Amino acid sequence: MKTFKLQCEILSPLHIGTGKEIEPFDYIITGERLYRLSFERFVTDMTESERLAFEGVLDKGNLLATRKFVEKHINVERNTLYSSEVSPQISSLYHTKKGDIQNQLLIFPFIRIEGDYVPIVPGSSIKGAVRTAVISKLANSSGLPKPKDFREENEFESIVLGYKDGKDDPFRGIKIRDKILGNDSTIIREIRNVSKKDGRLQSNDMQIICEVSHSSLTGKTVEFETEVSFDDALFSTRFLSKTLTRELITESCTNFYKDKMEKEHEKFYKNSEVEKCSIQLLNTPLDENSFMLRIGRFSGVESVTLDNYRNPKPPGNKTAWGTSRNLAEGRYPMGWLKVTVSG
């Protein structure tokens, strides 16, 4: 087993979620901090008189009164699962709307380890991004014809990588470890969907609230180290259809993701209020051992599809994909990492 270290710097806000939302009844925001409630701990911690009072509020079925009771009696140190920083905009929005029973401030949390509730970057997220870049490079040097339909698209990856079923998929020979982030590494921010119209970025009606990482772009650098391992036994016996190497991964990711960043800048951010942030990303120093990578939700369709071989279309084929971007607070592109390989 050959193992290399991956030193990762989160360049722009990153959101890797669970696909589930938390509702306003599941959390409270005090000042600029969100506390995820544990009702089991809350009820267990009550005195007998508090429990009777709480049962009386619940019996009335008044959700707003219930929310107020919880906020008044909760011990945020003892009765919560975890907490996260909240942007001033989200804090203000919450305190404006918390008295409204129709409040729909749904939040997409960052993926966390069950039980410990600490945020993690799954190795599978990094591996998936690497896989896209490698397959795109191999496809473009293969001379293979473009898939004609959905069935051929589903088979295309296996043709490019030369495997018949999952058993000889070369990416079986690569493992990337999950990495725990610190509890101070995330913040709740608003994500705005924007399109370029008449030469300007304009915000659409879509509002999403997510727990995202801090980042170099937003002024608080988050770095983490993980490992990638190559199973020499699987590769050397030719059990897998192709041999993957550190050099192939570095070259593939360098070409694929730098190209996506440059094109996104030209298409969306040049001469806009996001231009300064985009240029900062473009000027990230790289050497022969480092490359860009894009992971997580809101990466943009171009970063998760193969160059020249797949043209994804939305349901109904009414418009083309890739005509809008999702930006943290309407300013920060999402999901960029700098990865440096060593060892």
pLDDT tens-digit series, residues 197-210: 877 888 887 779 99
Q: Which pLDDT score is estimated for 65?
A: 86
Q: Which pLDDT score is estimated for 318?
A: 52
pLDDT band, residue 150 (cuts 50/70/90)? low
Residue 72 pLDDT greater than 70, yes or no: yes
* Strand spans (E) along the chain: 2-10, 27-30, 33-37, 80-86, 120-121, 174-176, 179-180, 186-197, 200-213, 222-230, 290-294, 324-328, 336-342
CB 227 within 8 A of CB 7: no
CB 266 within 8 A of CB 275: no
Location of structure tokens 């701990």: 41
pLDDT band, residue 338 (cuts 50/70/90)? very high
pTM, 2 dp: 0.90
Range from 46-50, 138-142, 228-232, 290-294 that averages highest in pLDDT: 290-294
Q: How far apart are CA 37 and CA 94, in angstroms?
A: 16
- Measured CA distances, 47 to 75, 79, 290 (Å): 13, 14, 57
Q: How far apart are CA 342 and CA 337, in angstroms?
A: 16
CB 332 within 8 A of CB 12: yes
- Measured CA distances, 117 to 80, 121, 172, 212, 268 (Å): 11, 13, 29, 15, 36
Tell me the two tokens of residue 29: 């925001």
Closest CA to 310 of 135, 61, 184: 135
Residue 31 pLDDT greater than 60, yes or no: yes
Check residues 155 and 299 and name the one with the higher pLDDT: 299
Check residues 178 and 168 and name the one with the higher pLDDT: 178
Q: Which pLDDT score is estimated for 235?
A: 80
pLDDT band, residue 316 (cuts 50/70/90)? low
Mean pLDDT score of the chain, rounded to an integer? 89
> What is the helix, strand, coil percentage profile of the chain, to 5?
35, 25, 35
Closest CA to 292 of 11, 40, 57, 62: 11
